[in-house]
Structures are given as C-alpha cells and as structure tokens.
Chain A
Amino acid sequence: MRPLLLLTVANIKSFTRDRAALFWTLAFPLIFVLLFGSIFTGGSSERSIGFADLDGTPASGQLKGAFAALWNLKIVDGTEDELLASMKKGDVVAVIIVPKGYSQTVAAKAGPANLTVYTDPSQSGADATTRQLVGFVLSAVNQAVAGVPPAVEPSFKPIQTNDLTFISYLVPSILGMSLMQVGIFASVPLVADRQKLILKRLQATPLRRWQLVGSNVLMRLLIAIVQTAIIVGVGSALYHVQVAGSWLLIGGLILLGSLAFIALGYVIASFAKTEDAANGMTSVVQFPLMFLSGTFFPIDAMPDALKTVARALPLTYLGDGLRQVMVDGTPFSPLWVCFAVLAVWLVACFGIAARFFKWQ
C-alpha cells in the first residue's frame, strides 16, 4: 500500500503544479455552471423592487405583503433616496413609495391614496412587468377595500419551462461531463510518462503495475470528488439546485462513471504514441460525448439517427443517472440501466486497454 500512496501523492503534486491541468479540470466546469446559470436564470435585479414605506401601518404592511407574495419578486426595503440610488445602479428595477397617511386615506375611503412608482422605460421588459404587477396588486387591494367580491378570479398554476428546471438539468449534466473529462484525460499524463520513459524506469523498481494503475485511478477519483463538491456546491449556493435523491446513489454513479471513463482514457493511451497525439485523440473522443449525450439538451430533441448513437454512449447514462437522482427529472432510462451500461463500458474498455496498452 505504501508505494501506492506515495505514488498517488506524487501524482497529485505533479497535477496541482500543472496550472493548465488545474484550470481545465477545476475552473472550467465552474465557469460552465456560472455561464449557463446566469444565462438561464436571468439576472437577479429583474425581480427586485424597492419598497419605501413612509406610512408604516399594518395596512401598508399588508400591501407590501401582497407584493412580496408574488412569485419571483424580491422586495428591498429602504428610504426613497437610498432606493432611487440603488435603482440607478441597477440593483432594483422599480421603486414603490407608500406615502404617509396611506392607511387613513384608504380607511376613510377619502379618494384614491396615491402610490408613487418609479420605473425605467429604457428597460422595456422590466418596465412593462412592473406596471402589470403594480396594476395586478392594486386592483386586488381596491376590490378588497370596496368589499365587492371579485367576479372573476384567476387561478395560477405555475408550469416552469425554463428558468429553474433548466439549471437543475444542467448541474448534473455538467457534473457528468466534468467526470468524463477527468477520466478520459488520464490518457495524457500516462502517455507523457511513457514517452519520458518514466513508466519504464518505474518498471525497473519493485513497484507493481497494479500499484501504478491504482495510484492513477485514486488521484482521478480524488479530483472527481473535488469537482463534484465545486459543481454541486456552486449550483446549490447560487441557483438553489437541490439534491433530491440519495448521496449513496450519487456516489455510486460517480465512482462507476469515473472508472469507466478512466478506462476509456487508458484505451486512448493504448493507441496514442505521443503526448500530443493523446491530447488530440482525447479531444476527438470528448466532443461527440459532450454534445450527443444529452449534456446540454435532452436526447428526445435529437433526430432519430443521433438518438441511436446517443443511446450507446456512456455519458448519456452517467448524465441521465445523475439527473434522475439529483432532480428526479423525467428519466430516459431506469437507474439500474445506467449502472449496467456504465459497467459494460468499464469492462469493455478495461479489456481493450489490458490487451493493447504498452508500458514501453
């Protein structure tokens, strides 16, 4: 065990001292999550509205409650000046001022109480939304004050088509993609070590081959764990992506998926003679996996011919499995199929690598 652990530590040192490798394996997936997260959830300012309550009575508090109850709307308290300043900075899209004496005016039914609403016509989308929201809330208040039961009442049934579902879909997909990259890029340092005769030199020591392979696998699994922590952590901290299912199943998928892709990396290393060739071949392998495996859009949206290809690829099943466990989304296949397909890929790649991999 000692040589195995020492070699693993040496591998980790070599890896962390290679800035490029560090960036591609750790920062790159993070950038992916942040990029897609900001595209598909929109900026947070769109849903923030400033609320200056100069009246400070239970009635004005109720009004604020009515706004706050609206889906996707965040209320920011403050004085009129503060809120207008933050609107200029773009932190809030509109500011509502409730005048002093609002509750008295309403209670006395002494004519309409006047709310001041600042909007920004240059932000046409936000401007229209604000007008609609204010109109919606106020008509409800007016009705309640007048004591007239509403003649027609909408019953909202939210069906999310974009926003949150898409980022929830993306986080496990990006995780799967990153695990795939960590695995198949095992090929490059392996071929480099062979090319630099490090593998040959190690073979002249009592170190066994299983220890050498084991240390590589161990290091890759450690990177996979760090990646999972980063991607899931950022996803849940910034985009409220939840992990619905069991961590045991997630761990099992990560382990099996990583092993299958590391084995695929060894297959690539079996046929690449130089470090550059390994880099090129690995890239060639990674792109179809990335785009045909339902990472960025569901397989169901693909043409039939591509669907057939997608159904054979290991990343399809790793991503699918992770999505099922993490978001409980509509599964493409039952979970055991995901495990089974990944296991088949692992065994097949291991067999090919064992047959064709050359140590010198």
Chain B
Amino acid sequence: MSIPTAAAAEPVIRVAGLHKAYGETRAVDGVSFEVQAGTIFGLLGPNGAGKTTTVEVLEGLREPDRGEVRVLGVDAVRDPDRLKPRIGVSLQTAALYPKLTVVEVLDLFRGFYHLGRRSTDELISLMDLGEKRTTRTQNLSGGQRQRLSVALALVNDPELVFLDEPTTGMDPAARRALWDVVLGLRSAGRTVLLTTHYLEEAEVLCDRVAIMDHGHILEEGTVEELVSRRFKERAVRFDTIDGLPEERLARMPGVATVKHEDGDTLLYTRDVAGTIGAVLDAAEGLGVEPANLGVRRATLEDVFLDLTGRALRD
C-alpha cells in the first residue's frame, strides 16, 4: 500500500454539509463526517435514513444539491472519473449480468481497470466461490451473489472499498467469513466504508460509526464512545413482569432509565446489585420469579434504540 506519508494526515473521506433532496424529500440533510486511512467506518441507520444516497455521492454516482465531498483527495462531484479507478463498490443489491458465469463477470470487470488488478482465481478463493466458478450468476443464492459482488469490488485492489449492506442474505458462517475479509482489508492498509443493518457487525468491524436517521447524522464516534456517552449505566434485563408498575421500576436503587422492548424490561442502572435485589423483592411480592434475568453492558443496539426510538432490525 502506497499511501504517501505526507497525505496520511488528510482523511480518505471528507464530507461537509452534504445535501440531497428528491422532490420534497430531503434524503440527505446536512451530513458531515471524516474517515481516516486504514480504518473501517460504519454508517448505520434504518431504511430510508439516507445512507445509500450518501454513499452513492461519495462513489461519484450521484450529484449532491450542495456540500463538499473529497474522497482520496479528489473532488468526487467534479472529478469522479479520477476517483473511480481507485475505489471498489458493492451496491446494496448485487448487480450482475444474469446470463454470465462467475468467472466471466470477474474477468469482465477486471478488464475495466488498467492497474493493480487482482487475479480472478485469487478473488474466487478469497470469497470462497470455487464451486461456483462456471455457474451463471442468475443461479447463485442470495449470499453467493453478495460474495461475488464483494469480489467485484476488489478486482482493482482499491484503496477505498464501499460495502453497502454486504452481509444481507448471508448465513452466519458466510457472514463471519466476510468479516474476516473486511478485517483483512484493514490489515492491508485499505479503508472501508460499510453500511449495515447488523449492529453486531458494526461492533465487531468498525473503528468508528455514524448513526443516521432522516438524512441526519445523529451521533458519531467509536462504538465505545457512543455507548459510554449515553449509558454510564449497565442494563439489567428480564422478561417483563405484568403488574409491576413503571414508577416502581424507576424508583429502584441506581436506575436511570426504564425501557421495554419485545417483551423485555431493561433497567439502566449505576447500582447493579441494588437493582437486582429490588427486582427480586418486587417479583416475590407478586409471587413470581423474574425470568431470564441478566446483566449486560449497554450495546450499540441500546444506543440506537435510544436515539431513534426503534430497533434497527425493524
């Protein structure tokens, strides 16, 4: 990887005041962030949050209404042609020629680039598509298609890789294998911008994340920062007990916030032992035992729920 040391200070992506509207809908409404070289950056948010539009502007595929967009030191709006040989793109929906085989599509895309091309065999083994070499893409499963789409994003050995929902439709094993590929890219000094629905994925992979909703970035930082900024507490969770009033939960020792989610009660507390004791007492008073009682650190999921009022997977 040949990132000049002088340019190391300059971020790989710098977005400032990005706006894009479709008619009345403000898809992206004043987005700013930076991504440093050699890191994995996650853009999280529900469908329609504006993630894909933002990414497509960065890839030089869409013109924004206004805002500054510099990618790899290039103005992505004015000069997309200088950018394209150096980036790799996997779209949210894998876009492939249905009648061509895996090898044919890879060879075709390799032919679009002049420099730094990775061999088709290398990519096929990296993405574990060996058994499907001569299968037409229309006959691949959703997960295999997604893997081929990622392989296509890597044909030019790009400095910056955009992966839009790359693990959608993958089984857990394939998802973990892809995580290894993404972490491998970072080890090789590449930069990755990832959008995802899976918060677990973001926690495992991303050095920094930005949470988007309604065209805005609500919060940005490392996962650790985001969690601790919002939750100084830990979460005590148990299956919601009927007849246990909200006020009583809120008055338990150390409890700062009470949340209900999918039949669970979550108590964010600074005093785990005191809270658990109070819960057990209260349950006993009602003649029940709290089921699935547990303690955990707050996660990105909690941050997301707190920020948007809904779980990301919905």
| Chain A residues engaging chain B, CB cutoff 8 angstroms | 2-3, 6-7, 10, 13-14, 17-18, 196-198, 200-208, 360
Contact = CB atoms under 8 A, between A and B. Distances in A.
Given A2-B111, A200-B91, A204-B89, A14 B84 contact: no
Contact of A197 (B62, B91, B104, B152): B91
A7 B93 CA distance: 21
A14 B97 contact: yes
A196 B61 contact: no
Interface string B43-62: 00000000000000001111
16 contacts: A6-B111, A10-B104, A13-B99, A14-B100, A196-B93, A197-B95, A198-B96, A201-B95, A202-B112, A204-B89, A204-B91, A205-B84, A206-B84, A206-B113, A207-B112, A360-B61
Contacts of A206: 81, 84-85, 112-114
A7 B91 contact: no
A202 B136 CA distance: 19
Contacts of A208: 81
Interface of B: 59-62, 81, 84-85, 87, 89, 91, 93, 95-100, 104, 107-109, 111-114, 136, 152
Given A2-B111, A6-B108, A205-B84, A197 B93 contact: yes
Given A203-B61, A204-B60, A204-B89, A196 B98 contact: yes
Find the residue from B85, B87, B109 having the highest chain A CB count within 10 A: B109
A17 B104 CA distance: 13
Contacts of B104: 10, 13
Given A6-B111, A10-B104, A204 B61 contact: yes
Nearest to A199: B95
Contact of B95 (A3, A17, A198): A198
B84 A201 contact: no
Given A204-B89, A206-B85, A360-B61, A10 B108 contact: yes
A29 B91 CA distance: 40
B76 to A, nearest CB: 11
B259 to A, nearest CB: 38
A23 to B, nearest CB: 15
